[in-house]
Chain A
C-alpha cells in the first residue's frame, strides 16, 4: 500500500527540503520505491538539494494539466535506482495547481511507489494546502524556537481539518521532527528543550536532527545528507527517524559529531 507523506512546517527555513531529500533517500536505501515531490511552485529547490537541477524537463503542473505524462516528468536519482523526483514548476503561477489535478497525479503515483514524499512550501497558501491535502502521514519539521513552534501548531490544526483524511473523519498520522537542535544550548536553558516542544505540540517525536555543518555541505554538492556523509550526525539522525517511520523501534538519541582524530583526518581527506 502506497503511503503519501507530507513534510511540512508553516515556517520557512526550518529544513523541510533538507528533510524531504534526506528521508526520501533513506526510505529508498531501505528498499522502498520512493518519489519525492516538490510543491513549492515558483521557488523550487528540491531539485537543487537532490542534485537534479540540470535534468528537469517537465514538472508537477505539466503533469497535473495533462501536458506531460508522469513517467516523462519523473527524474530518476543517479545514486539510488528506486528514488525519483517530481520537480515543481519554476515559472508558472502557483494558482495553476488545482485540487483535482494534484489529486489525479497523486492517485497515479500511488500505484507505482511505496512512498510519495511531498515537500511543502512554507506558509499556508495553496501550495502548502495541496501538499498536505492527500497525505496519509505528516512530518512536521520544527526548530526549537518560538515562531517555529507556533507555526507548527497552526499546521497541526490544518492537518486535522483540511486534509482528505480529516474530511473522511480519519486522522493523518503526525510526527514531529526537531531540526537544528543544539543539545549544549538546550542544556544551558538557551534553547527550548525537546520535552518543551513535545509538551506544547502534543505530537509524538520522530527524531532529533542536530545542528550541523554537514547539512550545508550536502546541499552544496546536491546530495541528500543521508547519502553524502552517512556517518555524520545529521545523517544518522535522519536514518534513525526513517526507520521509526517504517515502524522500527529505535532508542531516541541525539547523534553527536564524532570529534576523534581519525574522523578529523577522514574529513580532511573527503
Chain B
C-alpha cells in the first residue's frame, strides 16, 4: 500500500441495507405462509417420500438429497434419490 493511500479517504462501503431488506422480505413472506407455520414440514416430506420410495427400492439414505429453495412467489422442494442399477432381484427378495 502506498503511503498516500493511508491518508486518502477510503471508498465508501457499498450499502448493504437494501440487501438486508430484500432477504427479509423473501424470508418472512415464506415464514408467514402456511408452509412456514410448520417448521418440520421439510423433515416430514423427506421421511414420507423416502418411505414411499423404499417400499419399492432399497435405498441408501446417504444418497438422498433434499433441497428447498424459497423464492419470492414460489418455493421448490427438490428430492434427489440415487437409484443403483440392477436392484430388481434384491427388491423381489425383499417383498
A residues adjacent to B (C-beta < 8 A): 145-146, 149-150, 153-154, 157, 186, 188-193, 196, 200
Q: Find residues 1-59 in chain B having any chain A CB closer than 8 Å to their own CB.
A: 12-18, 20-21, 23-25, 27-28, 31-32
**In the assembled complex, which residues on chain A have CB atoms less than 8 Å from the CB atom of B24?**
146, 149-150, 200
Whether the pair B21, A200 counts as a contact (CB closer than 8 A) is yes
Are A200's CB and B25's CB within 8 A?
Answer: yes
Chain A residue nearest in CB terms to B29: A200
Q: Is the CB of A191 within 8 A of B17?
A: yes
User: Knowing that A196-B20, A200-B24 are A-B contacts, what are 9 other residue pairs whose CB atoms are under 8 Å apart, sorted by A's residue number?
Assistant: A150-B27, A153-B31, A153-B32, A188-B12, A189-B18, A192-B20, A196-B21, A200-B25, A200-B28
Out of A150, A154, A196, which one reaches B17, CB within 8 Å? A196
Q: In chain A, what residue has the closest Cβ to B15?
A: A189
Measured between beta carbons, the chain A residues less than 8 angstroms from B16 are: 189-190
CA distance A186 to B21 in the complex (A): 12
Contacts of A191 in B (CB 8 A): 17
Please report whether the interface of chain B is mostly helix, strand, loop or mixed according to DSSP: helix
CB distance from A181 to the nearest CB of B (A): 12
Given contacts A153-B31, A157-B32, contact A190 B25 (CB under 8 A): no
B28 lies within 8 A of A192 (CB): no
- Whether B31 pairs with A193 at a CB distance below 8 angstroms is no
Cα–Cα distance between A150 and B15 once the two chains are bound (Å): 20
Q: Which residues of A contact B28 (CB under 8 A)?
A: 149-150, 153, 200
Taking CB atoms, residues of chain A closer than 8 Å to B27 are 150
| Distance between Cα atoms of A24 and B18 in the complex (Å) | 35
Q: How far is the CB of B49 from chain A (nearest CB, A)?
A: 28
What is the CB-to-nearest-CB distance from A105 to chain B, in angstroms, rounded to a whole number?
31
Q: Which residues of B contact A193 (CB under 8 A)?
A: 17
A residues less than 8 Å from B32 (CB atoms): 153, 157
Q: How far is the CB of B94 from chain A (nearest CB, A)?
A: 44
Residue of A nearest to B28 (CB): A153
Whole-angstrom CA separation of A145 from B24 in the bound complex = 10
- Chain B residue contacts of A188, Cβ below 8 A: 12-13, 15
CA distance A192 to B20 in the complex (A): 7
